[in-house]
Amino acid sequence: MKLAIIRQRYTPFGGAERFLERALAALSLDDLEVTVIARDWPEGAQSAYRRVLLTPFAIGRAWRDAAFARAACREVARGGYDLVQSHERLACCDIFRAGDGVHREWLFQRARRRGPLARGLDRLSPFHRRLLAAERSLFASPRLRAVICNSRMVRDEIVRHYQVEPGRLHVIPNGVDSQMFHPRLRERHRAEMRRKLAIPDAHPLFLFVGSGFERKGVDLLLELWPRLAGDAHLVVVGHDRKLERYRQRTAPMGMASRIHFAGPQQDVAPWYGTADAFVLPTLYDPQPNAALEALACGLPLLTSSKCGAAELIEPGRNGDVRDALDLDGWLEILHAWADPARCVTAAPHARQAVEALTLDNLQARFHALYAHLLNRT
């Protein structure tokens, strides 16, 4: 079976790319020939998949994306693939994996926190207009046979915004390597990492992992932290083009000793082992891998109602959920979970929430979907 997977570019710290790396490794079986169609992608394991790199000339982000879409669809037309799975909004695919969620919903959530001028600029933006047009064309495409949703939240948004038949929507959550991400990381890394950060073991430590700080709620955390108890620490791991500006904001707040910006990290495992709880007040996140990894490590998850991982939370038992803009609600749950002993008690329940989300299960569900589509007349 010849499977093509389309993803425009590789970002070393992106959640979608981390998913694809794992999925490609899981799918490298004898009965499956996988081709990645991309504009920019590292060589990887050539025995696992081959690459087709497309670099059409274009100026500007919106036109670059449109040029790649046209080139990718031309490659699909001549490639002889049995199935084409796209992670971009392209009307020439059989399967669309909505790993980035629904752009129309993201703009709606973003508008809640932006002023009239910013909302107007979003409506006029060539990038957003092109992406919304591509999204409409994708979901109206007669070729589209299946949409893979990584959470029930995304499935419901697609039905609400685009009236796609529920029978074409398949909820397949991201997989997590529960051997790599495990509560044992606490024993392995906690003491040494806290020594390096000058954080006493008894002080509560909340961990944030993610790229794109505005969308994922770092501003809210910086606003709330001075209102928390004096010994609660926050560690922010991830990339943002304004990282230094975020870091500089902590000094005038008197928070430089309690808010730690670690920057992007290739290996996040030691940071999970260091923390007591994981915090992600994201405006919109379909199914963040970091949240699943944190739960697998036994960290209670505090996240927003527009995060797909909120579906795994039993409030008060393995975490809590609040609206991304509910400052008082967030302050309440941060206070409630600023108790390392309570977090230790919650660890087995956090781990249990993702026990079924194994990479083997991910592989089996993808293969079952492919077999179903190939046998369909």
pLDDT digits (tens, 9 = 90+) for 269-298: 999 999 999 999 999 999 999 999 999 999
pTM of the model: 0.90
CATH node for 184-353: 3.40.50.2000
- Please write the tens of the pLDDT for every residue from 89-122: 999 999 999 999 999 999 999 999 888 998 998 8
CA proximity to 293, closest of 238, 218, 338? 238
Does residue 377 have a pLDDT over 50?
Answer: no
- Structural tokens at position 348: 């087995």
Residue pointed to by tokens 């490590």: 297
Q: How far is CA 351 from the centre of its chain?
A: 19
Indicate the average pLDDT of the chain.
90
Contact 316, 300 (CB under 8 A): no
Q: What is the pLDDT of residue 373?
A: 86
Asked if the 2-175+358-375 domain carries CATH number 3.40.50.2000, the reply is yes
Domain ranges of the chain: 2-175+358-375, 184-353
The domains spanning 2-175+358-375 and 184-353 adopt the same CATH topology: yes
- Distance (Å, whole) CA 94 – CA 3: 10
More reliable by pLDDT, 374 or 235: 235
- Please write the tens of the pLDDT for every residue from 212-257: 999 999 999 999 999 997 899 999 999 999 999 999 999 888 898 9
Does residue 205 have a pLDDT over 80?
Answer: yes
The single-letter DSSP state of residue 250 is T
Q: What is the pLDDT of residue 262?
A: 95
Does residue 186 have a pLDDT over 60?
Answer: yes
- Structural tokens at position 227: 């209102």
Helix segments in the chain, DSSP class H: 15-26, 61-79, 103-111, 116-124, 126-140, 152-162, 184-197, 213-216, 218-224, 243-249, 269-274, 289-296, 327-337, 340-353, 359-375
* DSSP-derived 3-state class of residue 24: helix
103: CB partners within 8 A, 6+ apart: 89, 128, 131, 132, 135
- Please write the tens of the pLDDT for every residue from 212-224: 999 999 999 999 9
What's the number of CA atoms in the CB half-sphere (13 Å) around residue 68? 26
Q: What is the pLDDT of residue 153?
A: 98
Q: What is the pLDDT of residue 20?
A: 62
User: 307 forms bridges with which residues in the sheet?
Assistant: 285
Does residue 63 have a pLDDT over 90?
Answer: no
